[in-house]
Structure 1
Amino acid sequence: MTRYRRTVIVATLLLLGGCASAPEGTGAAPAVPAPAPTGSAVPAPADATGAFNEADVMFLQMMVTHHGQGLELVRLVESRARRTEVKTLAAAIDVTQDAERETMRDWLSGWGRSTSADPDVHAHADHGGMPATGPEQIAALARTTGTEFETAFLNLLIAHQHNAVEMARVETRSGTHAGALDLARRIDLSRTAQINQMLALLPPATLR
């Protein structure tokens, strides 16, 4: 990776971590950048110490699965998208979510818990729903390129990140582990900002 590209990705990470936006993260105007927070959007190294409850465990297990799906999506972008801004956003998401996933796996391993979510969808009804970006959707996206790819990618990732916001808000209401709660707040803010960025990148609706 070139020095220029690393600089662009770090700058984008700071933007994503420090943007304020509408509470629900959909249908709003693009977020206005706020001052970047101290540190980066990538979480600190995992610390499994401290009290935790089953809500923390469920959140982390579901989010590990969710992040895996998101990484599959954004790693399609470099070879298929055209616009630099779409590629830069995808690269920033890749860096952040890969680091977050490792942090969450470390917490779960430290607690002696599985690092994957229960595949039974009914087990997750009270926690924001099981991540639902399935292999069929990812495979269909991989068969497209250019403008068609960008439009499908942005729409799919908007829905995907909205699901992350919902799961994070359940955690902030029900969790107890300080690290998991802080991560949930970061996810809420950064994914809401990403949603607003992606809405601005979508082509305007064609007037009929």
Structure 2
Amino acid sequence: MQHRRAWALTAATLALVGAVGVAVLARASGRTEPTAAAPDPSSSAVRVLVPGRPGESATVTDADAVRPPEQAPYNKADVTYAQMMIVHHVQAIEMADLAPERAANDGVRNIAARISAAQGPEISVLRSWLAGRGQPESDPGHDHSTMPGMQPADKMAALKAATGADFDRMFVAMMTEHHFGAQAMVGTVLKEGSEQILAEMANETAVEQVSEIRRMRDLGVS
């Protein structure tokens, strides 16, 4: 009830601001605008202004009658994205956790720490999102090695064996490719998914990883 009332009052505020602007313009041009009827003092209901659709006037109604916009339900694309991104993030963290002992460049170590700090909590959120909808954390029928940006076993083994400048170059190249893969996955869920909550999460992931790609390029270790 508090959520609906808060939404209704927000809508009323926006409508009222718009009405004030119209009234000011009307006075400047010598015209008068109709005003809303005064509220009935005997009524205990909270009356609010609800903005109309484009070209329509605002209406006055009880706050309890106002409904927030309905969220579209999640679909298969949303579930697949969450399942795949968990695995994708796990590999990124595996790569990042190698940096403290193997990297020679302080910038590489800093970016690796940033990746671990960001993607660990994101994994927890995605797991909670799936659990809250009664969905499994993974799809046994999906081949995760085919996901965009996923690094094959031989390259992961080579990264784990590398140290110093060699590690830095391999890490930047592999993590950049990994991040670009995540961008592709975000693009797919934004196009095919239906739940706004997950779309917002995906957008945040994309923004963060674009920033990290730029930072890795600026290191000049490739």
Q: Please state which band the TM-score falls in when normalised by the shorter chain.
A: 0.5 to 0.7
Query: Which residue of structure 1 aligns with residue 216 of structure 2?
Result: 198
1:70 matched to 2:86? no
**Distance in structure 2 (CA, Å) of the matches to 1:117 and 1:150:** 33
2:115 to 90, 93, 102: 93
Query: AA paired with 1:178?
Result: Q
Q: Structure 1 residues 131 and 109 mapped into 2: Cα distance closer, same or farther (>3 Å)?
A: farther
**Distance in structure 1 (CA, Å) of the matches to 2:90 and 2:168:** 20
2:129 to 107, 116, 134: 107
1:1-208 alignment, distance < 5 Å: 51-118=73-140, 120-121=142-143, 129=147, 132-203=150-221
Cα distance, 1:131 vs. partner? Answer: 5.3
**Distance in structure 2 (CA, Å) of the matches to 1:202 and 1:116:** 37
Gaps of at least 5 residues in structure 2 are 1-70
Identity of aligned residues (%): 27
Range that drifts further, 133-142 or 106-115: 133-142
Gaps of at least 5 residues in structure 1 are 1-48
**Distance in structure 2 (CA, Å) of the matches to 1:87 and 1:117:** 33
Cα distance per residue 1:108-144 (max 9 Å; x no partner): 11112111244534x998xxx4552233322210101
Query: AA paired with 2:173?
Result: N
Q: CA RMSD for the aligned pairs?
A: 2.2
- Contact 1:161-1:191 at 8 Å conserved across structures: yes
Q: TM-score, normalised by structure 1?
A: 0.67
Q: Structure 1 residues 119 and 202 mapped into 2: Cα distance closer, same or farther (>3 Å)?
A: farther
- Contact 1:55-1:174 at 8 Å conserved across structures: yes
- Contact 1:64-1:104 at 8 Å conserved across structures: yes
Cα distance, 1:189 vs. partner? Answer: 1.3
- Contact 1:151-1:202 at 8 Å conserved across structures: no
- Contact 1:62-1:131 at 8 Å conserved across structures: no
**Distance in structure 2 (CA, Å) of the matches to 1:59 and 1:182:** 13
**Distance in structure 2 (CA, Å) of the matches to 1:106 and 1:118:** 19
Structure 1 stretches of 4+ moved >6 Å: none
- Which structure has the larger Rg over C-alpha atoms? 2
Q: Structure 1 residues 116 and 131 mapped into 2: Cα distance closer, same or farther (>3 Å)?
A: farther
SS at the partner of 2:134?
Answer: coil
Query: AA paired with 2:177?
Result: A
Larger RCO (alpha carbons 8 Å, 6+ apart): 1
- Contact 1:154-1:202 at 8 Å conserved across structures: no
Query: AA paired with 1:164?
Result: A
Q: Structure 1 residues 198 and 150 mapped into 2: Cα distance closer, same or farther (>3 Å)?
A: same
